[in-house]
A and B are shown apart, each in its own frame.
Chain A
Amino acid sequence: MRRLTKCLLPAAAAAVAMQVVRYPRTNPAVESDLVAPSEIKSVLHRACYDCHSNETTWPWYTAIAPASWIIHHDVEEGRSRLNFSSWADYAEDPGTKARKLDEISKSVARGDMAPWYYRMLHPDAGLSDGERAELTRWVAEELGSEPASP
C-alpha cells in the first residue's frame, strides 16, 4: 500500500503541475467562411471545422493538460495549413485556392482526415464512402470552374 502511495503521489503531483502550463482556447473572428453547397458544408463542419476553422468546439477535456497541449497544437497547426474561415484569402490567388482544394481531395481520398485519434473522441467525424465521393466531386467541380492559374 505504502509502495503504491509512493508511486501515485509523484504522479498526482506531476499531473497537478502540468496544469500550470495553459494555452488559450480561442476562436478568432470568422473573416470569410467557405461558400459551398449545404451538404458539403455539413460534412466539413462535422469532420474538419474543429481544427480547420475559427469555429472550434472546445469540450471540457481541452482544458486539462496534457490533452490541452496536444489539442492546442493540433488546432494551431490545422488553422495554419487550412482555415475555412479565411477561405476568401485563398481565393484571391486562384493557384492557392486550387492547391488547397487539391489537398482536401487527396486527404479525403487517402483517409488521412480526420486523424484517427480525433475520430476516437468524435466518432461522428468519420466520413462514409458516399461522403468521400461527394467531397471529391465537389472539389473537382470547384477546380473545373477555376481559371487556369498564371
Chain B
Amino acid sequence: MKLKSILSRSVGRALVAIVLAALLASAVATHAADAAAAQEPLPAITLKNGRFDPSELVVPANTAFKLQVTNGDAEAIEFESFEVHRERVVKPGETITVFMPSLSPGTYKFFDDFHGSTPNGVIVAK
C-alpha cells in the first residue's frame, strides 16, 4: 500500500515536470521567433528630393505588415493611399510606422497629397 502511494506520487511529479518543461520550451521558442521577427527590417519608403524611394515596394500578399515612412525632405508630406485607406502626415526628418492591412495580390497606389508634383508610388503585394 505504501509502495503504491510512493509510486503514484512519483508518477505525478514526473508528469508535472514534463508539462512544465514543455511549457518552458514553448515559451522559449515563441520568444526566439518574436526576437527573430523583431530583428527583420520593416518594409520602408523614404521620400527624398520629391521622390519616393523605392517607388515600387514589393510585400507579401495576404499578410498584415508595418510600413516605415521617412520624410527626408524639408517640408511636411502626406503619405496617402485611397486603395489601402491610409493617410498620414510625416513631418520633415520624421519616420513613422503605418499599420498596413493584409493585401490581396495586386498593385496599390500611394502618393504625397501635399505635393501633387511628387510622382506616385506603388505597393505590389505578391
Residue of B nearest to A100 (CB): B87
* A150, B89: Cβ atoms closer than 8 Å: no
**Smallest Cβ distance from A106 to chain B, in angstroms?**
12
Minimum C-beta distance from B27 to chain A (A) = 26
CA distance A80 to B101 in the complex (A): 17
Asked if A93 and B100 make an inter-chain contact with CB atoms under 8 angstroms apart, the answer reads yes
In the complex, identify which listed stretch (B5-13, B32-40, B49-57, B91-99) lies at the interface while the others stay far away.
B91-99
List of B residues within 8 angstroms of A150 by Cβ: 96-97
Report yes or no: A96 in contact with B97, Cβ–Cβ below 8 A. Answer: no
Q: Determine if B2 is an interface residue (Cβ-Cβ < 8 Å).
A: no
Q: For the complex, would chain A's binding face be called helix, strand, loop or mixed by DSSP majority? A: helix
Is B96 in contact with A149, judged by CB distance below 8 angstroms? yes
Interface size on A, residues (CB 8 A): 15
Q: Which one of A1-9, A12-20, A38-46, A84-92 is at the interface?
A: A84-92
Contact of B99 among A81, A86, A92, A100 (CB under 8 A): A92
A99 and B101 contact, CB distance less than 8 A = no
List residues of B (61-120) whose CB comes within 8 Å of A's CBs.
82, 85-89, 96-101
In chain A, what residue has the closest Cβ to B102? Answer: A92
CA distance A96 to B82 in the complex (A): 12
Cβ-Cβ contact count across A and B, 8 Å cutoff: 33
B88, A99: Cβ atoms closer than 8 Å: yes
Q: How far, in Å, is B79 (CB) from chain A's closest CB?
A: 10
Query: Residues of B contacting A149 with CB < 8 Å?
Result: 88, 96
Q: Which of A80, A81, A86, A95 contacts B98 (CB 8 A)?
A: A95
Contact yes or no, A93 B82, CB < 8 A: no
Measured CB to CB, the closest approach of chain B to A77, in angstroms, equals: 10
Instruction: Check A95 against B101 for contact (C-beta < 8 Å).
Output: no
Which residues of chain A (46-100) have a CB below 8 Å from chain B?
80-81, 83, 86, 89-90, 92-96, 99-100
- Assembly CA distance A90 to B99 (angstroms): 10
Interface string of A90-118 (1 = CB under 8 A from B): 10111110011000000000000000000
Pairwise interchain contact A95-B85, C-beta atoms closer than 8 A: no
Complex: A150 Cα to B90 Cα, angstroms: 12
Cβ of A80: which chain B residues have Cβ within 8 Å of it?
82
Asked if A96 contacts B86 (CB within 8 A), the reply is yes
Q: When the two chains form their complex, are residues B82 and A95 in contact, meaning their CB atoms are under 8 A apart?
A: no
Q: In the assembly, what is the distance between CA of A96 and CA of B79, in Å? A: 10
Q: Is the CB of A93 within 8 A of B99?
A: yes
State how many angstroms separate the Cβ of A94 from the closest Cβ of chain B.
Answer: 7
Most buried by B among A81, A83, A86, A93: A93
